[in-house]
Structure 1
């Protein structure tokens, strides 16, 4: 048990359990004895109590949320900044992150993606109107409640738009997969940086993949700056043109060509909602000779641009020899830095190429995936050394004669010999013919199920507390009545459980066997929902490791409780270590990190640019010693506990400039204090 669980803070907040660990804080579920409510408490980690940068970020989060009041933004109730403990008391969110939801669903319907995006934009519109830019919008910072409500969280690197105006690239910034190009460059950032991140999330939701993926964060950052995303319709042909245009406009690399506000993007989404066949015909200015405009959609598809008349007569520019422009000193310096950076990246790429060539990619003969579900295909290839490096791309097709969700065809075909890392396209059956979702409002659960089965639709019953709808009757559905879907689509049916008074606590079934947990949940008057497995480091097979909602949470009687059980396998954990570099040092330092006797990381750092170096280490179990050397001399010693997923600093030594020429190799017998 950790040091806070079971304790009471300030005589008021009873800490029940640890529910999350972030880069700089621990998050607990707690009970507010004064206001009689469950809350989430975010406590700054002990190792950062003396770090001014992390304390500044932690206080920024509380200040940012404190001025916000919106149904799609997590509420802050209380803050405390003492010498020994600093914490923020927030609204407790009984849900999962959008990242977890996307990992479960892989690809979601575009209507659901719009539903989420609208709520995120409304939250950002409110924050931007208050002068706050989030700067770290990503699925990990978006919470999804059981009723589909979105909550934007984690304003840890938010800023007031009228104070700071620049985000340095060597400081803490959001996930590289979602940051705007200007953030990656260290340029000025404003509300339009959040718009870009929303565009990336919308792209990921409607295609099932990120626009830019690579083996390293540096490579992704370069792609954010230079590469164009693959058009969503090329990945998922069911995406409407208008939605593709909205997504690509939000992701324009030039901030002036993006939506200028959340409200502007919301207006286009609303227009698209009213008319899904709409085409916005966006044009983007390309600064070349002669001057021209490019159609956002048709250009990337290779189609002919549509006729366009802006009532302005353009004159053909005569051909001329371009004048040689005098480049400024600043531009030459920037170009030099960029060239050096690219040389390093290319060097790593060549090394990786030689490595891959030496190890050998090899060829494989494709098996027949037809008739299997996508999950079955992944399970079949995941642990098979012959097929584990294959990349799968999915597309959908309607076939009423086949089971929904199965692979109809594959490209290349079964029996084809391909590279071991080849890309395979699987055509997945999306269901049968189009049908309309029936109106089930004010019908009993049994009547609703019968109506859905008549039109070959699947269903998921979700109990909800509703004083206005009689107990046992349908309140509404998702998608709503009248929506066109295909046969075999699962419809969420929200059935009223009556007034809010009829509540029960979710039983504490964590660490119990799955069968015992199911019996206990049923005995409490609740319904057992989805049961999923998860790799866990210290739990036996079929032992419960999570429930949703969490144990002790008051829910309506009859509510669904989802269970996560251990697969019995050990999962690899990633531990972040933050190394505080020596102060008042302005030159480059060679940093080496040894985990046990193995050199894991070697890099050049400069404290004058960033006085904190973040390192990440992976492991499955046990404790390992981490030794940090600066210029060949021991500087810090940490203990990494991969069972608990934590790190602790054990020893610290002064940095000695004179040691820069010393040996930094680990002797075969390990490290001694004199190293």
Structure 2
């Protein structure tokens, strides 16, 4: 069980369930006892609590959000940077990420994409106006509420654009699929890098695809710097041309050719919303075009041709200048080649994540060895990884280094495990000391028990004499004596298992175990409890939970098939659901009715044959209890002689098949 769940931070924030896992911190749903409301608490992971760089980034996020107040940016309520736990208390957003929504939809309609983009740009405009560049804009960092409101979050690598204390060498890298070319190169970033990321998000929403992808972060980053993205309309021709032009301009490699501010991009989107057929003609510009492009048909440039004519030179001079220019170009190219060969500059590459990979496979994989020197620094026991797995690396992933850089790795020599000592009957202090002397971390849980003396250990979890990882927290259950007061059983239905257990503990009750059952509720959701809510029981009573396995419940759906038989004789019809025979009949014409069974979470494929040949097909939606059949084919004549009297109707092949009836015209 997560060590924070059920605990109170600063005596105020009651942690209820884990709702998000990040690289630097985890996010929990919590209850603010003082304000009587649900909040989100972001807690820096233990392994980073002594890392000054991560602590700085974590504090930087709180500073960044603290100066912002906008309806499209998550609010911050409180921060705490203690020695043991560092956390940020934020607005709790009940929704899904924009990334999850894109994955659900495949392609987001352009009107909806514009609706989301406008809100994101307004949030960024507010941040930029306050001197903050987000630098990690991606759909995973955008929350989508049920009413369509967008909330931008995770300012973990945000930079204060006006902070003179920052150095140019700071190269925080966002997610490679969405970073700007200058960010991938480790250059100084400004507001325009966020706008590039917005362009990538718009591309993904409108096409259902990322503009750049690859087998490794390095390959993707190189494409961000060098490759041209496909035109959005080449992937989805339903995108209005004007909207495509907005995306193309936002994703220009050269920051000077991009939108310079969020407000400027919003103005173009507003123009597009007023007139969806508008053309901006941005797509006719290339990264080599000048910003000072002008249209000579404009009256204010009427004298341009005349000016050019006055400045013309003689043909002879033009030839001499051309020859001279050619020699200069050749000389410059020669010098560039010479000095490039002399200095042999290496390209910038992004350090991959090697932690969790097999060391032997890494050192034989050219994806890594072509760009890096992998050096095993040492082997040591690991709290998390089996023998032979890389458990640490220096430098960390996503750092920008030169091609050929040396990556030092620590390889696991095996799991750091130990046998849990038997501390049953010991006092709390004695038990904790024995366990900690054995290398384990402990947490003490009070439990009502009539048999064990108050203050003595009842049991541990994991149990005594079992081998377990040293990183696992051992729960020490200490007797608090016989229960003396009555408590009311809370409603646990609809909660996650971890939230239900925390609710039981906060009401002085005990979870007596869980049982998985068929249910159409999401997997892991509590759907039943051994004692009904509102029941009055003694404190310490054990409550068993029924938990959904996510498979759905079995339901019956009625299927109707139209029989159009012009052969003049009865034909043999067979119905298959997902390849399994479910019903048969023999008939001339009419409507064939039968039922099929399946899990409420599934959709089944129907196939109907007539005399052994394809006749019709369809689907069964068990969740909504509906079936549709179509694509009817002509019925072939049955083979002669028929073994069945024409006027009789065959029964299903076995008694296990669903009931099948035909009402004939």
Q: Under a length normalisation based on structure 2, what TM-score does the superposition of the two structures give?
A: 0.49
Kindly name which structure, 1 or 2, has the bigger radius of gyration based on alpha carbons: 2
Query: Which structure would you say has the larger RCO, counting Cα contacts within 8 Å and 6 or more residues apart?
Result: 2
Q: Under a length normalisation based on structure 1, what TM-score does the superposition of the two structures give?
A: 0.49
